[in-house]
Structure 1
Amino acid sequence: MRGPRSRYYALRAIGWLADQLLLFLVPVLAFKLTGSLAWSGIALTAQWAPRLIALPIGGLLADRFDVAAFYVVNDLIRCIAGVVGVAAIVLYPDAAGATVIVFSIVAGVCCEQTLVAGEKLAGRLIPAEIMPGAQSLLGSLEQGALLLAPAIGGGLVLLDTVWTALIITILFTMSLAIALSLPRSSETESRSVGGSLPGLASELATGIRTIVRIPVLLGFVAATMLVNLLLGAVQTAAPELVVGTYGHSEGVLGTMYTVAGFAAMATMPAMKRLIRRFGLLRVAAAASLTQAVVFTLLTSASLFWVFAGLVAIFMVGDSMFTVVIRIVRITVVRPNQFGRTVAAVHTLNFAPVPLIGLVLAAADGRVPLGIVIPTLGLVTLVSLALLMLRLRPLAATDPDLHPLEKERRPRTLVS
């Protein structure tokens, strides 16, 4: 199993890197071409809206088909889209920006579906007793993608657009090769697919009802929605702040994210010890509340290095919170409901991202970021604090949310 597990880690790392390149480059490209915060917000919304539509469908299909085969199909679509995109950029260079945005939408839809499949593959390939450590490793790999994507993307911003599509297409090809090598399930997982949209909507509603029936999961989903609202605002506003307020180039924006990624990666090895000592809820509370505080202070930084430091602290909190939410959902959701439930979880988690893109686009030229950012930060801070207080008694009574404590309990034989 070590061989397939290692290939699984490589698969997730490559997928995250390609996806983060798209997420980083498209809003920056939109700002570079227009110099407008409004277009940066619109680009963020254009990226995320199709992803959210694709998530429920991906979750339902992941519950019906072998997830390794499902991964292969989506990687193949991404590769084809990449080849077509590269050809279109070469043949129609004047439409390069639009081509990259369309490519990012198609690839993003597939990325969200492989995200669900990748989460379900973790349950198959990774034993429960090492899941917390594995999730920390996955968090490190994801943070590594966050680290490399801005560094590579910052350079690609300065180069011809064709290199963007070409490099991402190469990453998708590597992902496809690894996905083809993963073992298929030995169990009969697949079921016939009901073709009607009402059937899909019904099962998505089932996933949402599952979330509602698990109060701890519902609370963590609500907290994640608030955290992602802040993250979307940072992604949208950072080009305007770095270029417009501090007078630096888009390349400096990439460097800033790279430094923030290094800081976030440095916290990952300590996550297992932190969770063992303080528990999932305290780590989640510390991470999310810190994010809200530093977000509130972003536009009050008079010096660029102070602003960059606040962004780094925000990214550290985001990486810590990501590890916690992964452990929570893979712990409390039953395997036979995992695909549809995680699809519903991700749909809710990222629903605020396109919303905040539209809000910042509408505010551009009307309400300054110096008012929008602190107001949003304070409202989120209060909301997160109330949520964490609500989650405290729920998490304390749920033994499944203490996986590291369970590792140390003596095992009993079941006849």
Structure 2
Amino acid sequence: MRGPRSRYYALRAIGWLADQLLLFLVPVLAFKLTGSLAWSGIALTAQWAPRLIALPVGGLLADRFDVTAFYVVNDLVRCMAGLAGVLAIILFPDEAGATVIVFSVVAGVCCEQTLVAGEKLAGRLIPPEIMPGAQSLLGSLEQGALLLAPAIGGGLVLLDTVWTALVITMLFFVSLAIAFSLPEGRRTEKPDRPISGSLSSLAGELATGLRTIGRIPVLLGIVVATMLVNLLLGAIQTAAPDLVVRSYGHSEGVLGTMYTVAGIAAMAAMPAMNRLIRRFGLLAVAAAASLTQAVVFTLLTSASLFWVFAGLVAVFMIGDSMFTVVIRIVRITVVRPDEFGRTVAAIHMLNFAPVPLVGLILAAADGRVPLGIVIPTIGLVTLVSLALLMRRLRPLVAACPDLHPLEEKRKARALVP
């Protein structure tokens, strides 16, 4: 099984890298091709809205079909979309912007489908006794993709758009080859539910996942906090190209360097997470990370020098990585295994629901309200909301028995002289 597990890790790493390249490049390319913040916001919205719809669909289909075959089908669709996109950019260069957005929509939907399939595939290929270590490795691979994508994307932005689409398509073909090499599920396995009535089944799956979140108050609180943090992250992804080019006079390619440095800083902070959580507790780390993110976001447009702006983005990304660790711990700890698939789909859908919203907000504000007003306003509202939410979470964490072992370990260490 070591061989299939190694290929599984490679599959997830390639998938995350391709997905992060799309998430980084699409708003940047939209701004580069149009010079408009509005189009950058529209591109972000067009990229994320179908992804959110695809998440519960992925949970529904992954529960009814062999997960390896499900992965292969989505990779095939991504490869075909990539080839079609490359051909369209070559034949119709004036429509490259629209082609990139359409390509990102199709590929993004498949990426979310493979996200759900990848989570479920872990249960087949990874024994329970090594699951904690495997999750740590997967977290490191995801962070590595977050680090590499801006570095690669920054270089691709400087090249023709066709090369960008071609590189991402090549990654999809690598993913497809790995997916083909994974073992299929047992053919004697049957779906837990009938395939008929897909629309009602989809609504039922989504409702069940949402009910699970609502039934666990501490999980609901963390999900709401994540939605607020991702609102800020979406605003940075949309506004950064405009700020870097117009406010500081740099090219879009500089964004890749900026995000890469921020990613390195975030990776460097990760080894300290275990010690911080053990010493101060999950809630304290979550509060410190999220509130710091809101503060530095509020200050973004007040930075007069580019290196100050880049430093604030780096601090934001460090906080984002720290908060992500808390999310993973809470999710794995409080959600029952039999509810994990549909609940993860619902969590991801809620987590990123604010991203297309903030894209529309910034698109509507372009030319009407300066970013120097929009960004601080969003930041201050989010900061107050997070402060109130973290105060509300304190008794919820104390009332959650599943998290008590973590807190007891922290208290026991605190008593050691």
TM-score normalised by the chain length of structure 1: 0.92
Return 149-158 or 118-127, whichever deviates more. 118-127
Contact 1:13 1:145 in 2 (8 A): yes
Shift of 1:128: 4.9
**From 314, 331, 338, the counterpart of 2:340:** 338
- Partner of residue 44, structure 2: 44
Return 129-138 or 384-393, whichever deviates more. 129-138
Distance 1:131 1:286, change over 3 A: farther
Shift of 1:406: 9.6
Shift of 1:27: 0.7
Distance 1:4 1:68, change over 3 A: same
Taking the aligned partners of 2:130 and 2:380, their CA distance within structure 1 comes to 38
1:60-90 deviations in Å (ceiling 9; x for gaps): 2222233233222211211121122222222
Taking the aligned partners of 1:295 and 1:328, their CA distance within structure 2 comes to 25
What secondary structure, in the 3-state scheme, does the structure 2 residue paired with 1:250 have?
coil
- Partner of residue 240, structure 1: 242
Contact 1:129 1:407 in 2 (8 A): no
Shift of 1:163: 1.0
- Partner of residue 190, structure 1: 191
Shift of 1:195: 3.2
Shift of 1:399: 4.0
Q: Output aligned runs, 1:374-413, within 5 Å.
A: 374-401=376-403
What secondary structure, in the 3-state scheme, does the structure 1 residue paired with 2:189 have?
coil
1:174-224 deviations in Å (ceiling 9; x for gaps): 112222233344583633323342332122112111111111111111011
Taking the aligned partners of 1:279 and 1:134, their CA distance within structure 2 comes to 23
- Partner of residue 295, structure 1: 297
Taking the aligned partners of 1:189 and 1:401, their CA distance within structure 2 comes to 35
**Paired amino acid for 2:327:** I
**Paired amino acid for 1:178:** I
- Partner of residue 414, structure 2: none
Contact 1:132 1:272 in 2 (8 A): no
Contact 1:13 1:142 in 2 (8 A): yes
- Partner of residue 366, structure 1: 368
1:252-311 deviations in Å (ceiling 9; x for gaps): 111111111111111223333333333322222221111111111111111110100000
- Partner of residue 122, structure 1: 122
Contact 1:4 1:183 in 2 (8 A): yes
- Name structure 1 gaps, 5 residues minimum: 409-415
Contact 1:225 1:350 in 2 (8 A): yes
Shift of 1:407: 10
Q: Output aligned runs, 1:265-276, within 5 Å.
A: 265-276=267-278
Distance 1:130 1:313, change over 3 A: farther
Distance 1:317 1:135, change over 3 A: farther
Contact 2:60 2:201 in 1 (8 A): no
**Paired amino acid for 1:165:** A
Taking the aligned partners of 1:402 and 1:114, their CA distance within structure 2 comes to 33
Count of residue pairs brought into register by the alignment: 408
What secondary structure, in the 3-state scheme, does the structure 1 residue paired with 2:196 have?
coil
- Partner of residue 231, structure 2: 229
Q: Output aligned runs, 1:156-175, within 5 Å.
A: 156-175=156-175
TM-score normalised by the chain length of structure 2: 0.92
**From 199, 204, 207, the counterpart of 1:205:** 207
Aligned-pair identity in percent equals: 86
Contact 1:279 1:402 in 2 (8 A): no
What secondary structure, in the 3-state scheme, does the structure 2 residue paired with 1:64 have?
coil
Distance 1:396 1:111, change over 3 A: same
- Partner of residue 320, structure 1: 322
1:317-349 deviations in Å (ceiling 9; x for gaps): 111111221222233222332222111111111
Taking the aligned partners of 1:286 and 1:132, their CA distance within structure 2 comes to 25
- Partner of residue 112, structure 1: 112
Shift of 1:126: 4.0
Contact 2:7 2:182 in 1 (8 A): yes
Question: What is the RMSD of the two structures over their aligned residues, measured on CA atoms?
Answer: 2.2
Taking the aligned partners of 1:306 and 1:194, their CA distance within structure 2 comes to 56
Work out whether 1:22 is the aligned partner of 2:17. no
Taking the aligned partners of 1:90 and 1:283, their CA distance within structure 2 comes to 49
Distance 1:353 1:133, change over 3 A: same
Taking the aligned partners of 2:125 and 2:348, their CA distance within structure 1 comes to 21
Contact 2:66 2:184 in 1 (8 A): yes
